[in-house]
Amino acid sequence: MKAMKFLAVFMVLALLLAACGQAAATEAPAAATEAPAAAATEAPAASGAPEACSDALGCAVFAQGDVIKIGMGAPMTGGNASYGIDISQGATIAMSDAGNIEGWTFALDAQDDGGTAEGGAAVANKFVADPAIVAVAGHIFSGATAAAEPIYNKVGIPMLSPSATNPALTTTGSTVFNRIAFTDLNQGNNAADYIFNTLGVKKLAVLHDGSDYGKGLADIVAAQFVKDGGEVVIEQAITPGETDYTAVLSTVASKTPDAVYFGGYTAEGAVLVNQMKTTGLDKAIFFGCDGTYGEDFLTRTGANGEGAYASIAPASPDSEAKTAFNAAYLEKFGKEAGSLSPYTWAGYDAAAALAAAVKQVAVVADGKLYVPRAALVAAVRGLTNYVGLSGTFSCQSNGECNVDKPQFVVVKDGAWTNAE
């Protein structure tokens, strides 16, 4: 009898344990259905997703009401903020003009990277953590771009820079980096030729800010100037962010150069120009680059800037689209397009081209928008005869989409004008 009672109790306990096991089994899938929901915007194709999402990079997924983001890393504060502000403003108009994909609209997410490598990496890490970022119109400065590119390359976020010109950027084998700006090989070699052949300079001092962009450009100018038959009397770096370069300039003056070439940006370039007059270089020509061009340079140098040169992107061709853009830019931001930097129109083009590539590869299914990341990387690299405001672009296999030569400008009567 006791044995029977014991058996009965044992069977009851067994049934209770089985019931508990079934309850646990029905709760576990509930947790499993929540995890994919949190990662659905990044994971490879799940049930119902298009076939294009089945590779390792997967798709960016947008529900109704979500916004497709184009990122931009740029100096938005500090001494060179005019470049970031100007280029991002051009790109903002491009987002407005981009329209929509069956109701899904575009927006620019411009983040301040300070134009530095550290800032570039920080912004890139922020963007890759945001599944709504599908591409990046940038970065703007070369050093920031070089630091950001490997981060985007790992996750398949394509880049299209309007202004990062350092030649090395397209020599790393990156699958995601592309640019519509000319390279500093074109800028530097042509600047050296112009300085030697047109301006008649025989002795050149070369300064730079030590950055990937500034030093790279200065090295190119120095090498080509020597090839042309000129003499580089000194090549030296300055420390960015300082307000007194008189010691450096006094050393330069002792070499009696006919001209001083500077590879760098406006903040430091303006200080150099202002102090050349008091350090024995009042007769020497100052020759800058696309980094020293703009309204900000004129404001900072005043009368000291008269006669200064710069090399910039060639003038964009006249068109009805450009005229409409210029009017929209002036109305929205209260400045003439091209007054803050030479890359206003390229900023528009980079963002607009990325939006066009998104439209090319996007798929709408089951009430959602899918942007296949691998297909988008290929579409951006495959840009062919893309007609923008600043020119017509076709990307080569290494991401170079522009083979233009620079134009040269000079400050005359307090304004930038085309140089002869």
Q: Which tens digit of pLDDT belongs to each residue from 43-59?
A: 454 557 899 899 999 99
Alpha-carbon gap, residue 394 to 380, rounded angstroms:
10
pLDDT given at position 47: 55
Mean pLDDT of the chain: 90
Are the beta carbons of 401 and 183 closer than 8 angstroms?
no
Residues in Cβ contact with 181 at an 8 Å cutoff, skipping those fewer than 6 apart = 161, 162, 163, 164, 165, 313, 343, 346, 402
Q: What domains, with CATH codes, occur in the chain?
A: 59-182+316-404 (3.40.50.2300), 184-312 (3.40.50.2300)
Q: Residue 11's beta-bridge partner residues? A: none
Q: What does pTM read for this prediction?
A: 0.86
pLDDT digits (tens, 9 = 90+) for 124-154: 999 999 999 999 999 999 999 999 999 999 9
pLDDT attached to residue 5: 38
| CA–CA distance, 283 with 302 (Å, rounded to integer) | 17
Listed residue (414, 399, 337) closest to 153, CA to CA: 399
Tokens for 10? 């044992």
- Dihedral of CA atoms 39, 359, 172, 224 in degrees, nearest 10, equals -150
**Percent of the chain scoring above 70 in pLDDT:** 89
